[in-house]
A and B are shown apart, each in its own frame.
Chain A
Amino acid sequence: MTLRRTRGRVPAAALAAATAAALALSGCGAGGDPAADELTVVVEGGGLAELEPIADLYEQETGTAVTLVELPYDGLYDRVQTELGSGSVSFDVAALDAIWLSAFADGVAPLDDLFTDDVKADLFPGLVSEAQVGGAYVGMPIFTNAEILYYRTDLFEDPQHQADFEARYGYPLAPPTTWEQYRDAAEFFTRDTDGDGQTDLYGTDVKGAVETEWLATVSQTGEEHMVLDPERGEVTIDDAEHLAALDYYTSLLPYAPAGAAQLDWAGAQNLFYQGQLAMMRFWGHAYTQTPDDSPVAGRIGVAPMIAGDGGVAGVPGAWYLSVPAAGAKQELAKDFIAFAYEHNELSIDTSLGLAARVSAFESQADVAGREHYPALLETLNAPATRARPATPQWQEIVDTVLTPMLQKAVEPGADNAALLKEAEAQIEAILR
């Protein structure tokens, strides 16, 4: 008997193994080698564009290359949490969402020396207070967002609509500034526009799958401690203001498309761009992102967020630059952050077009295409606009309590008071 020859296979396998070994020894990837004196910044995909011009200028002026590592939103949180927890970090600077600051405060270096009086004076009050955790400044805001009011100018400026609205509600049709006006306008525009018996235009959307818009509504009541007061360790979600906010929020359901429980930011934005909504409360950056082929392109107006009894209020959606305490290049990292603050206006000419400094927003007051800046300024400067509570458990509270509660609240027959009571117990359990 002769053994079957398998030489053809053996060399192939050996070659593959050798290739593997060569690749292994080279230890390389396809992205190129990083320089030894560079700074590495981890950033979420959406905020990448805001940092690119600053990073480019920093390299040009200092010779230090800045590598921006783009990660998905949830992935960035996991990555930072893992590395800060392990005490071994691969990045020198992290761009952190405002709601993560408390969770990561113990793992990042204080930036108190960067927060001079001049710096603080040129930042929105909510951002200055949000940046401070446990008495130390843990992040420098790089850009901020807030929800503002979007409305269809073709609908609001239509003479027939204006006459009909005034006849029905007793005051002129204009972009709403209060809860009542918003509800009236939402009701007025909810209609069947093509006569097929089906409603095809809704006054507004109601988002059940995200919590921030309801939190803004809470602040609009004048509530000073949305959901909880971290300093006193008291859960406030079951008080009269939160109930008023939830009642108002859900009172808009008859003027919104079905499926509110699953509606998130992307879904609401799509509905508005498709021309199915007359109004929308949404983050300011979207003003410059209307697709060219959208039926509402060129017909969108913006105004500050609406007001409840407590006045105009939004929720600041800021991102901060922080330095890991375990980082090897802390001074260089701080230098980059100071540079980013100094050249904050560079973020204006990017895809998001957002900045953090008040002066950067004010510089665009009369610039065509920046009509959303005054609306953002007024909303962010409003006394009732408050940052989300500084607690390390905030993300958990959002994911396991607030969002599920809202999803139940937007279902028919929901008992808002009971839902808030239940949420209070759940949050207390999390904080314990």
Chain B
Amino acid sequence: MNGIETRRRSTKAILLVLLAVILVLYGFPFAYLLLTSFKPPSEAIAVPPSVVPDVWTLENYTAALSKEGVVPALVNSVMTAVLSTLISLVLAVPAAYAVTRYRTPSGRVFVLAALVTRMVPTIAVGAPLVETMRALGINDTSFALAIAHTTISLPLSIWLMASFFEAVPDEIEEAAKMDGASRIGALWRVVLPVVSGGLAVTAIFTFLASWNEFLFALLLTSVRAQTTPIVIANFQTQFGLDWGAMTALAAVYSIPVILLTLTLQRHIVAGLTLGAVKG
């Protein structure tokens, strides 16, 4: 018994160490970014670098947030990500539902085809998108950028939602129909509440894809709809790197995502579990 107990403890200790190492590997870059954002400019660029600031200051935050275009870019990022999430969900939910419930060969082809679009390099569709948006007269708008972001997130959203719908037994819908609900009514009133965790997971992935996207934002926006990733990148110019201000804005930009993830954490776990146990 003592031997088994010792082995268990050793295994647990090894796992904890492994966990700690992984946590540090994942967490250190962000922790370093956060700590650097509180360093004075000369300390932020010191060689060799220090991890913890010798002097703590909010100077970088003041400089970053007072830079022209930063606040509008933050607003644009929120607008674009919310729009993209809504568009993506509005399109993905009925598509995924139809594919999983009707189970037709064309539906399977459709889902595969949706996945294929993920394999096309983003830059390859950049030029056509620029031309299309300009022809539509919506270039440099959050709407145009949200549509572009939806082209990235929609295939994943359909696949995710399809896996969540698969996990919902047909009998639940049948029962709803017996109570007089139409198919759409059953979807709206019964199925969607059941997969609300999955919806949350899909929404957060879609939101994140738009929130962090760079290339389409670069190609499709100029002044009115420019998002924060472009503004963050602008702190590095050919003539210098404003490391402190860049880290400060990056830290500020991370906050909504962290808050969103923490708020939806329960739904995310539930959603992931829902998808994982499907037969």
Contacts and interface: CB of A to CB of B under 8 A. Distances in A.
Contacts of A3: 176, 179, 181, 189-190
Interface size class of B (residues with CB under 8 A): 35 or more
A32 B223 contact: yes
B42 interface: yes
A6 B189 contact: yes
A417 B232 CA distance: 41
Nearest to A295: B42
B225 A31 contact: yes
Contact of B237 (A27, A33, A44, A67): A44
Contacts of B239: 46, 145, 283, 285-286, 352
Nearest to B186: A3
Interface string A266-281: 1101110110100000
A238 B230 CA distance: 40
A29 B79 contact: yes
Given A3-B190, A271-B47, A285-B239, A86 B86 contact: no
A79 interface: yes
A10 B188 CA distance: 8
Q: State the majority secondary structure of interface residues on A.
A: mixed
Given A23-B142, A283-B239, A69 B222 contact: yes
B219 A82 contact: yes
A293 B140 CA distance: 41
B76 A29 contact: yes
B42 A291 contact: yes
Interface in B216-247: 218-219, 221-226, 230, 233-241
Interface residues of A, number: 62
Interface in A224-266: 257, 266
Contact of B42 (A2, A269, A273): A273
Given A29-B141, A46-B239, A90 B222 contact: yes
Contacts of A289: 240
Q: State the majority secondary structure of interface residues on B.
A: helix
Contacts of B4: none
B234 A45 contact: yes
A69 B220 CA distance: 12
B72 A29 contact: yes
A381 B73 CA distance: 43
A97 interface: yes
A75 interface: yes
A287 to B, nearest CB: 12
A20 interface: yes
A266 B215 CA distance: 24
Interface stretch (B94-102, B131-139, B261-269): B131-139
B205 to A, nearest CB: 18
Greatest chain A CB density within 10 A among B76, B146, B188, B240 is at B240
Contacts of B143: 23-24, 26-27
23 contacts: A1-B179, A3-B181, A4-B190, A24-B146, A27-B138, A27-B143, A29-B224, A30-B224, A34-B140, A40-B222, A44-B237, A45-B235, A46-B237, A46-B240, A69-B223, A70-B69, A71-B218, A83-B130, A86-B127, A88-B131, A274-B47, A276-B47, A291-B41
Give 8 closest A-B pairs by Cβ, nearest first.
Answer: A29-B225, A46-B237, A29-B224, A46-B239, A72-B233, A30-B75, A30-B72, A45-B237
